[in-house]
C-alpha cells in the first residue's frame, strides 16, 4: 500500500469521484489505490547515494511529503523539478497542505536547502511551472 493510503483515505478518494462514474470504473480506481503498479528497482538515488541518474541533474533529498521524496535540479537551465515538495497555487509557491504530507515540519526543513540555490524555474507536480523570484517566495515560506 502507498505510504499515505489507509482504508479511510481510500474511501474518501472514492467519495470524491464524480457521481456519474460507473461502478466498474470506481472499482478499478479503488483497486489501483490498494494495489499500485510495481516495478523492479535497479538502483537507489538520493539519501546518501552519490550516483546521479542523468548527467547535469542533481538529486535533492526533500522528505516531508513522503519519507523518501526527492526533487531534481537541472543545473544548465536552473530548473527545479520539485515533484510534491512544493505546489503552485494562484501563481505562488506553497508547501502542500498538511493532508498531503507525511511530516509537515520535515517538508518545511527540506525547503531550506533550496533557498541558496540559483533557481529560475520550478516545476510542481500540482500547479505547473513557476518562473519568477523563487528565492523570495521560498524565504516567505520559511519565515
Domains located in the chain, CATH noted: 1-39 (no CATH), 57-142 (3.60.15.10)
Q: How far is it, in rounded angstroms, from Cα 76 to Cα 57? A: 9
pLDDT tens per residue across span 85-109: 999 999 999 988 777 778 888 988 9
Range in 6-10, 29-33, 73-77 the model is least confident about: 6-10
pLDDT tens per residue across span 122-132: 999 999 999 99
Long-range contacts of range 1-6, CB-CB < 8 Å, 24 or more positions apart? 1/34, 1/36, 2/33, 2/36, 3/66, 3/67, 3/102, 4/66, 4/100, 4/102, 5/33, 5/34
Range in 4-8, 31-35, 101-105, 124-128 the model is least confident about: 4-8
Residue 121 has pLDDT above 80, yes or no: yes
Instruction: Please name every residue paired with 59 in a beta bridge, in sequence order, or none if there are none.
Output: 72
> 102: which DSSP letter?
S
Give the pLDDT score at 44: 80
Strand, helix or coil at 130?
A: strand
Residue 32 has pLDDT above 80, yes or no: yes
As a whole number, mean pLDDT of residues 72-85 equals 95
Amino acid at each position: 500500500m502507498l505510504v499515505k493510503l489507509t482504508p479511510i483515505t481510500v474511501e474518501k478518494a472514492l467519495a470524491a469521484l464524480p457521481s456519474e462514474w460507473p461502478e466498474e470504473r470506481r472499482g478499478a480506481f479503488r483497486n489501483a489505490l490498494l494495489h499500485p503498479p510495481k516495478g523492479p528497482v535497479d538502483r537507489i538515488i538520493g539519501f546518501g547515494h552519490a550516483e546521479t541518474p542523468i548527467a547535469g541533474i542533481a538529486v535533492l533529498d526533500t522528505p516531508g511529503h513522503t519519507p523518501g521524496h526527492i526533487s531534481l535540479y537541472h543545473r544548465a537551465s536552473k530548473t527545479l523539478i520539485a515533484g510534491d515538495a512544493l505546489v503552485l497555487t494562484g501563481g505562488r509557491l506553497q508547501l502542500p497542505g498538511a493532508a498531503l504530507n507525511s511530516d509537515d515540519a520535515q517538508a518545511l526543513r527540506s525547503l531550506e536547502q533550496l533557498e541558496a540555490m540559483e533557481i529560475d524555474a520550478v516545476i510542481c507536480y500540482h500547479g505547473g511551472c513557476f518562473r519568477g523570484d523563487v528565492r523570495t517566495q521560498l524565504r516567505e515560506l520559511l519565515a
